[in-house]
Amino acid sequence: MANIESRDAAIANDRVVSKNRFNSLSPAWNAVFSIILILVSLFALVPMLLVFIVSFSSEASISYNGFSFFPSEWTLAGYGYLGKMGDQVLNSYIITIVHSVFGTLCCLSVMSLYAYVIAQRNFPARRFFTWFLFFTMLFGGGMVPSYMLNANVYHLRDSFWIFIIPSLVSAYHVIILRTFIISTIPETLFEAGKIDGAGHFRIFIQIVLPLFKAGIATIGLFQLVGRWNDWFTAYLYIDSSRLVPLQTLLQKIQNNIDFLKNNAEIAGTPEGLNMLRNLPTQNLRMACTVIVVLPILCAYPFFQRYFVSGLTIGSVKE
């Protein structure tokens, strides 16, 4: 029951507020609520605005005023430096895109098949397969054994496949996909398919997939964003710079700035100060942040609907 209720909730999200007029908030309270909520929204917007502005501030104005909403001098130099780093940034961008898009596609195909299997009500091994998956959400080996296996046994260290293979299946996402199938596709449809002599693969491709687009889109978007934002995988496993994705590049720029700053302070050597001077500049760091964030920020308002339906389905049990 809860399934259906929540799905309705997801659909109903489009009509966020449709309370009857006779029960609507008094204008005064409405104004108070609006003002509070708008002020809260500034918390989300202002810090991003700052990063955006700093990325266009000149280095001189940063060292004089610090990071400021009102820089004394505007410039594109930060983005110019990004261009000068040329290959590295482009390369990282490509890695990020491939990691996100190819990874998501692989993920979806493997996970949706399994979701289909554990959504079969008449399948005797269904409970076993569900628990086989679900248990991995409850208990795990943790980071060290995984690291040892990936690096030493599966030899995924410094290989592109580290982005794809160890993150191929998310148990949580499979459970959500299964809930999507159960709640959107009536059992009778499977039965009808079987009576017509279609095998499971035919049923999956011709009946389930077309009805299942919303579920796939939801999980696909979660995967896409998660992979786009993944900085840790490469941080842990990747050494060669040609395989470093954008987020990790950003993290490394951030680390280098701190490292040199702290050590130049201690040592105060001419070389240290010299390195500091040649360091990626402040506005470069912010410019890099902007190009990492921009694609997601531009895209997500259009996809938000799917996220919301995913959130509600995700918090539903069988």
Partner 1 sequence: MSATSGAIGRKKKRFFRREDLALYIMALPTVIFLLMFCYAPMFGLIMAFQDFNATKGIFGSPLVGLKNFQYLFATTDAWIITRNTVCYNLVFMAVNTLIAVIMALMLSELTSRKLAKTLQTIYMLPYFLSWTVVAIVVTAFLDREYGIVNKIIQAVGGKGKTDWYKQKDIWPPLLVFIHAWKGVGYNTVLYLAVISGISQDYYEAAVLDGATKFQQARYITLPHLRFVISISLIMSMGSIFRGDFGLFYSVTKNSGRIYAVTDVIDTYIYRGLITLGNVGMSTAAGLYQSVVGFLVLLGANWVVSKIDPDSAMF
- Contact segment (CB under 8 A) with partner 1 among 46-54, 78-86, 176-184, 206-214 equals 46-54
Q: Is 13 in the site for partner 1 (CB under 8 A)?
A: yes
The letter for the amino acid at 32 is: V
φ, ψ dihedrals at 57, nearest 5° = -90, 150
Q: Is 297 in the site for partner 1 (CB under 8 A)?
A: yes
Least separation in angstroms between CB 129 and partner 1: 6
Least separation in angstroms between CB 19 and partner 1: 7
Element (H, E) at 271: helix 270-278
Q: Is 211 in the site for partner 1 (CB under 8 A)?
A: no
Q: Which of 100, 104, 218, 312 binds partner 1 (CB under 8 A)?
A: 312
| Structure-derived torsion over alpha carbons of residues 146, 173, 295, 69, reported in degrees to the nearest 10 | -80
Residue closer to partner 1, measured from CB, 19 or 270: 19
Q: Is 54 in the site for partner 1 (CB under 8 A)?
A: yes
Q: Which of residues 129-188 bind partner 1 (CB under 8 A)?
A: 129, 132-134, 136-149, 152, 154, 165-166, 168-169, 171, 174, 188
Q: Is 296 in the site for partner 1 (CB under 8 A)?
A: yes
Q: Is 48 in the site for partner 1 (CB under 8 A)?
A: yes
Q: Which of 56, 114, 163, 306 binds partner 1 (CB under 8 A)?
A: 114
- Contact segment (CB under 8 A) with partner 1 among 87-95, 209-217, 268-276, 307-315 equals 307-315
Token pair of 310, please?
A: 């995913």
Residue 87 vs residues 81, 95, 96: alpha-carbon distances, Å: 12, 12, 14
Q: Each residue of 228-264: b (16+ CB within 10 Å) or e?
A: bbbbebbeebbeeeebbbbbbbbbbbeeebeebeeeb
Count residues near partner 1 (CB under 8 A). Answer: 119
Least separation in angstroms between CB 90 and partner 1: 19
Residue 128 vs residues 125, 135, 176, 177: alpha-carbon distances, Å: 5, 10, 18, 18
Per-residue x/- marks for partner 1, 74-103, CB under 8 A?
Answer: ------------------------------
Q: In whole angstroms, give the CA distance from residue 296 to residue 50.
A: 18
Q: Is 284 in the site for partner 1 (CB under 8 A)?
A: no
Least separation in angstroms between CB 44 and partner 1: 5
Residue closer to partner 1, measured from CB, 94 or 137: 137
- Contact segment (CB under 8 A) with partner 1 among 77-85, 178-186, 270-278, 284-292 equals 284-292
Q: Is 196 in the site for partner 1 (CB under 8 A)?
A: no
Partners of residue 74 on adjacent β-strands: 57
The letter for the amino acid at 20 is: N
Q: Which of 232, 242, 269, 294 binds partner 1 (CB under 8 A)?
A: 232
Name 85's Cβ contacts closer than 8 Å, sequence gap at least 6: 280
The letter for the amino acid at 176 is: I
If you search the block for the tokens 């509070």, which residue do you land on? 36
Q: Report yes or no: 71 and 65 within 8 Å, Cβ to Cβ.
A: yes
Q: Which of 173, 185, 289, 306 binds partner 1 (CB under 8 A)?
A: 289
